[in-house]
Amino acid sequence: MNKPQATYALCDVNSFYVSCERMFRPDLYGKPVIVLSNNDGCIIALSDEAKALGIPMAAPYHEARPIIQKHKVTCFSSNYGLYGDISKRFNWILEQHCDQVAPYSVDESFMRFEGFQNDLTQRAQAIRSELWRCLSLPVCIGLGPTKTLAKVANHFAKKHKTTTHGVVDLSNPATRKWALKQIAVAKIWGIGRQLSKKLILQDIHTAWDLHNADYKTLQRMFSVNMERTILELRGQPCLKFSELPEPKKSILNSRSFGKPLSIYSDLKEAVAHHTSRCCEKLRNQSSLASSITVFLYGQRKELVYHNRPSVTLQLPEPTDDTSIFLQAVEQGLRHIVKAGESYKKAGIMLNGIVDSHGYQPDIFEGVPQRPELMESLDKINRRYGQDTVKFGSLGFAKNWAMRANSCSPHYTSRWQDILKLS
């Protein structure tokens, strides 16, 4: 007896950052809302009402300010702590309704259904209803026999929300053929603008054209990924469905400052903060790192950073101990900071990453490892909030912090910001 084929789904939250802000501000439903990027620089999320006013995505805030003020558009600074926590809750609800969930980004996740006898369109509608009831998140869901087709289905579900009620299923060959004929080849997941130009030269303009192309010929012309995409469009799963992302080969954390910094102690606090965040990510994926790079960006002139000092420090052996990296970072920072020079941005990158499980340390020149201390630190901060317990190098002044003049409270991740009902 043949095993029934699995069905894949992509669940995507509409205007995720805006939806998170509206969750605790129901007075904003039906009104134009935007969310700004780091340092309140550019527009990175818009409600449908804001889009209808003609406000462009990714536009600098100062350029859009006249129309924002004219129509009294509500603006928020990015609140990544809130968005990350809501994303975890979003995925937890999805896990209650399917076999597996694989987060793709902060606002969209793939789901895998296998052996379900009931109508998956109805199940998808039930998921939409529960996400709205529990989190007030409006979502669209695309269904298909492969991840690529689920992505295409999600595109149509978002584009035609009213007629599709937010769910499109491309499992039916006839429906699939119609949809693939409507979508440009550049819109297919993994193709993009540059690759689509080369495909158009081969007289491949739509997803249906690519579906019918000779995948062996295109595989020789481009890559094996092109062959997989074509087979996925034909309904043959080729992409791995993984519940956990692959461990990163390098880990980066960087931010622009809210104002230019020239004082060494402020710069030290900033790079210590980035180091701590990188080490948390390192431990979360059960890895060790053997080198760390510190970099600074000077003031920009004519949109170009002319002064970009950096230094890479090699440790005797891989570790995940934050204090060891902090000591190395301080040594490196003293070599690249110039007195009287102002800096606009700083960052940290960890390299030489290996799996911590089964790693055999050097018994002669080993770096002292304190896994119990790091584990306790992470547990406390996960339970009571980030930086509840931290190293003194991170400081308290935060003169380097990004500009966030319109940041909403951390409703779900800080005790002092929890809503109080009187």
Give the β-pairing of 7-13 and 139-144.
Answer: antiparallel
Confidence of residue 2 (pLDDT cuts 50, 70, 90): low
Question: 120, 138 in Cβ contact below 8 A?
Answer: no
Q: How far apart are CA 181 and CA 327, in angstroms?
A: 58
CA atoms of 38 and 299, how far apart (whole Å): 17
What is the percent of the chain where pLDDT is above 70?
A: 95
Match 């935007």 to its residue by tokens.
34
Q: Region 202-208: what's the mean pLDDT?
A: 93
H/E stretch holding 384 reads helix 371-384
Rounded Cα distance, 397 and 263, in Å: 12
For the segment 139-163, the average pLDDT, to the nearest whole number, is 94
| Bigger pLDDT: 388 vs 92 | 92
pLDDT of residue 1: 44
In this predicted structure, the answer to whether residue 261 has a pLDDT above a threshold of 80 is: yes
pTM exceeding 0.85: no
Q: For the chain, give me the number of helices (H) and strands (E)? A: 15, 15
Task: Tell whether the model's pLDDT for residue 409 goes beyond 70.
Answer: yes
| The pLDDT of residue 404 | 75
Tell me how far apart the alpha carbons of residues 348 and 368 are, in angstroms, rounded to a whole number.
Answer: 22
Q: Which run of H or of E encompasses 217?
A: helix 215-221
- Which of 199, 198, 217 is closest to 207 using CA atoms? 199
- Taking only the tens place, the pLDDT of each residue in 63-121 is 999 999 999 999 999 998 899 999 999 999 999 998 899 999 999 999 999 877 678 99
Name the band, by pLDDT with cuts 50, 70 and 90, for residue 302. low
The DSSP element (H or E) to which 61 belongs, if any, is helix 61-70
Q: Which domains does the chain have, with CATH numbers?
A: 1-119+132-145 (3.40.1170.60), 251-394 (3.30.1490.100)
What is the widest separation between alpha-carbon atoms in the chain? 76
Rounded CA gap, 419 and 412, in Å? 9
Rounded CA separation 135/87 (Å)? 10
Q: What is the pLDDT of residue 243?
A: 55
Q: 330 CB contacts (<8 Å, ≥6 apart)?
A: 268, 393
- At 222-252, the pLDDT tens digits run 889 899 999 999 999 988 887 556 778 899 9
pLDDT band at 415 (very low <50, low <70, confident <90, very high): confident
* pLDDT of res. 416: 82
Look at 183 and 400; give whichever has higher pLDDT. Answer: 183
Mean residue pLDDT of the chain comes to 89
Rg (CA), the chain: 24
